[in-house]
Structure 1
């Protein structure tokens, strides 16, 4: 078996993969291309925005959430590709000049949203990161927002091990994945380093398998690292892309791993910027829709 692209398109910064098991559909975004995409029954659909979009997550009510630089919006999936109909759900991050980055829903359907200083210009080109102004927020089904963390660099990875007793989240600027206990009042406790720096790239997005192992995309490292439940390195999975950004389990039996990637301006590999897939024979945890 080998890694194969799910479609023939290449993207500037493919990210945020979500597997909708009920409809056997794959959702993802091109952050720097300002697009949300869905692959269903061999048909690729997209919605074009005028600002960065970092996640594309279906809801329990039949539409979808898109996390834009201007806030979390609901998207009418029946609206045209180049005139998407959106409505603001909430503006979770009050810091001017930030944008959404990592976003995943926990098993209760609550959206956890990590933000960062906006590093993209109006054409999707790179801007320097000059401050640690990002945060982590939880958005409940009623659109209420709970601030959880501030002073973050680049929030990446959101998985909930130990029956939701904790959350694992990376700060890519720090090069590590942190573990935060979740308190009875739903606040976060004192962090500890769960997975330390590694020579194979910086931690980006992750997926968790049913045994509690975390598959972490390594930005600039050309691989995934599978971390054991205690944060130790279990294995390194080589990839045909230089800048993997995130991953998600899917397919009919949840044993296919989908990996998104970015395409560098210079020295790109053939598959850089593609979304790739391979059946790996290990069952993963399901993606969760937004409860609102």
Structure 2
């Protein structure tokens, strides 16, 4: 496969890629660098934020949500003004990590013990203080899971009855049935651990296969709906962190990555590759 970096930007900890179909724009974040980034019509724009940011998701009303350490905020894209939308996780010392919207436009936010120092340095994860929360368009917060280590991957079945969710501290991707009242059944292990790195963020294609970024594994794993490895996609970065399908036909796979001690030239870049199957679209926040 042929890879290219979408811009010259290199993140300390690139994460949370989101493809906005209406505007054909790519959104992502540099968590450690406290930046929200957007590539629109070939132009890169960055918003500097006061705290670590784990997700940057456009809203139906025209602004965007950013998940900061102290809460979920609205970001005015024109003025860069921030306004607090809600505090999903009140646990002191936690930060947001994985965040995506379901087909109803509700934000699902996984949180964890903060593992990033003020200058971007790594801090150890010593407790399972994270949780999973659902945030509705009216800012109502519903707790779903607790006792999480490092939440990663949020993908839903087409019928909305199941969610794939991972915990990198376990090296495992799980599957939860979603109850009629919106709560989750207990986790069922679905995939992992695996020798090629730890599970990070993922994207789902139109065939229901999951493309999982492997932290410290320099690859993506394409996983069948039954949780078997279909293929390994080798990458020119040490720490791929997540991926999303984009482009006019949703056949461009965008892959975020982080810096690493190996200092490969593309570490921290967003990579783009063309794949042979289209992906499923991202959903904006409904509020």
TM-score, length-scaled by structure 2: 0.99
Q: Which residue of 1 aligns with 2:198?
A: 202
Structure 2 CA distance for aligned equivalents of residues 161 and 178 of structure 1: 13
Post-superposition offset of 1:73: 0.3
Post-superposition offset of 1:126: 1.2
Structure 2 CA distance for aligned equivalents of residues 247 and 199 of structure 1: 20
Structure 2 CA distance for aligned equivalents of residues 55 and 211 of structure 1: 26
Q: Which residue of 1 aligns with 2:285?
A: 290
Q: Which residue of 2 aligns with 1:23?
A: 23
User: Is residue 279 from structure 1 mapped to residue 274 from structure 2 by the alignment?
Assistant: yes
Partner-residue secondary structure (3-state), 2:27: strand
* Unaligned 5+ runs, structure 1: none
Partner-residue secondary structure (3-state), 1:163: coil
Post-superposition offset of 1:9: 1.5
Post-superposition offset of 1:49: 1.1
Partner-residue secondary structure (3-state), 2:159: helix
Alignment: residue pair count: 287
User: Is residue 133 from structure 1 mapped to residue 117 from structure 2 by the alignment?
Assistant: no
Q: Which residue of 2 aligns with 1:171?
A: 167
Aligned pair partner of 1:159 in 128, 135, 155 = 155
Q: Which residue of 1 aligns with 2:218?
A: 222
Asked whether the equivalents of residues 34 and 124 of structure 1 are also in contact (C-alpha less than 8 Å), the reply is no
Q: Which residue of 1 aligns with 2:36?
A: 36
Q: Which residue of 2 aligns with 1:56?
A: 56
- Once the two structures are superposed, residues 131-189 of structure 1 have per-residue CA deviations (whole angstroms, 9 ceiling, x without a partner) of 11000000011100000000000000000025211110110000000001000110000
CA RMSD of aligned residues (A): 0.8
* Unaligned 5+ runs, structure 2: none
Q: Which residue of 2 aligns with 1:70?
A: 70
Partner-residue secondary structure (3-state), 1:164: coil
- Once the two structures are superposed, residues 246-267 of structure 1 have per-residue CA deviations (whole angstroms, 9 ceiling, x without a partner) of 0000000100000000011x22
Aligned pair partner of 1:252 in 245, 248, 252 = 248
Partner-residue secondary structure (3-state), 1:268: coil
Asked whether the equivalents of residues 256 and 281 of structure 1 are also in contact (C-alpha less than 8 Å), the reply is no
- Once the two structures are superposed, residues 198-246 of structure 1 have per-residue CA deviations (whole angstroms, 9 ceiling, x without a partner) of 0000000000001100000000000000110111111111111110000
- Once the two structures are superposed, residues 74-96 of structure 1 have per-residue CA deviations (whole angstroms, 9 ceiling, x without a partner) of 000002xxxx3110110000110
Structure 2 CA distance for aligned equivalents of residues 175 and 128 of structure 1: 16
Q: Which residue of 1 aligns with 2:234?
A: 238
Asked whether the equivalents of residues 25 and 39 of structure 2 are also in contact (C-alpha less than 8 Å), the reply is yes
Asked whether the equivalents of residues 238 and 262 of structure 2 are also in contact (C-alpha less than 8 Å), the reply is no
Q: Which residue of 1 aligns with 2:10?
A: 10
Aligned pair partner of 1:120 in 116, 119, 131 = 116
Aligned pair partner of 1:109 in 105, 108, 127 = 105
Q: Which residue of 2 aligns with 1:146?
A: 142
